[in-house]
Amino acid sequence: MRSRKLTCASINFIVVLLSQSVHSQLQVGFYGNSCSLAEFIVKDEVRNSFFRDQGVAAGLVRLHFHDCFVRGCDASVLIDSTPSNNAEKDSPANNPSLRGFEVIDNAKARLEAICKGVVSCADIVAFAARDSVELTGGLGYDVPAGRRDGKISLASDTLTNLPPPSFNVDQLTKFFSNKGFTQEEMVTLSGAHTIGRSHCTSFSNRLYNFNGTTSQDPSLDAMYASQLKQQCPQGNTNPNLVVPMDPSSPAITDAGYYTNILANRGLFTSDQTLMTNAATANQVSQNARNTMLWRSKFAAAMVKMGQLDVLTGNGGEIRSNCRVINS
């Protein structure tokens, strides 16, 4: 028992250290003097939205991921398209699946009313993701802030900067490595799929058109595949048809994602592929056995992700409207 307590204490200490050893220009409590209610207001908006629709939490975590992996954590994913520019949010990787924009809008409007031109949209997205993890039962963590907002958003940038659900473990490992993450951190961040939903189009090939010799992915549990076929009928053309990523607890940040993979019930190819490599399979098993360990690793990985290619100091701008670059 004492050993287990020491382990948990060590894990929490590691999370604190990782939270502190960040980009020198990002700071925990960055708005302490300039807009002291910033994090409280964002959390209040996330909480209000969550009580209306629990699925928004997964949307906000995904929004942060899709922001940071394309041009860094600069809120470029929030910018609306114009007649002359197709923005990130309207790329096939983001539209119609990305959600939570209205939560960011509401938080920004409240912040502009009391701290005009102070809090960046990029920081709001980072705060909202943390609050979503916490609201769904994950481990809360300090978010270093001071990001500034980017001025460029191109749908074409998503093509090479967001991993598709068809990636295998080698492709995922290389992709995350290019972003500065270890293979273990890739497995850890994949656990975000423990909450939220997926459109049928993201995995229907595993049910009906897997390869030239078999229509159904043989690595997919047969009973689960049967359930998915009922929810996503072959030939269905409804682009809004969705299923939960983790049917047993779709709004709880727990280790259910890893338990599902061990039972051959990973929804995406990119989920189930984690069992095809000895090292990643071992991490899946470890995370499934020890939820607290995974939650701690996930918190640390989210802090690290939030530092990807950030704009600070005089870089970028502080948008007054998160959807539009300042004129």
Query: In this predicted structure, what is the pLDDT of residue 327?
Result: 83
Task: Say yes or no to pLDDT of 12 above 90.
Answer: no
Question: Model pTM?
Answer: 0.92
For the segment 149-166, what is each residue's pLDDT rounded down to a tens digit?
Answer: 999 999 999 999 999 999
Rounded-to-integer distance, Cα 100 and Cα 46, Å: 9
Query: In this predicted structure, what is the pLDDT of residue 236?
Result: 86
pLDDT > 90: what percent of the chain? 89
Please confirm, yes or no, whether 66 is among the known catalytic residues.
yes
Query: In this predicted structure, what is the pLDDT of residue 23?
Result: 46
Query: Residue by residue, what is the 3-state secondary structure of 223-253?
Result: HHHHHHHHHCCCCCCCCCCEEECCCCCCCCC
Tell me the mean pLDDT in the region 64-85.
98
Query: In this predicted structure, what is the pLDDT of residue 105?
Result: 98
For the segment 235-250, what is each residue's pLDDT rounded down to a tens digit?
Answer: 887 888 999 999 999 9
Q: Which of 23, 64, 66, 199 is catalytic?
A: 66
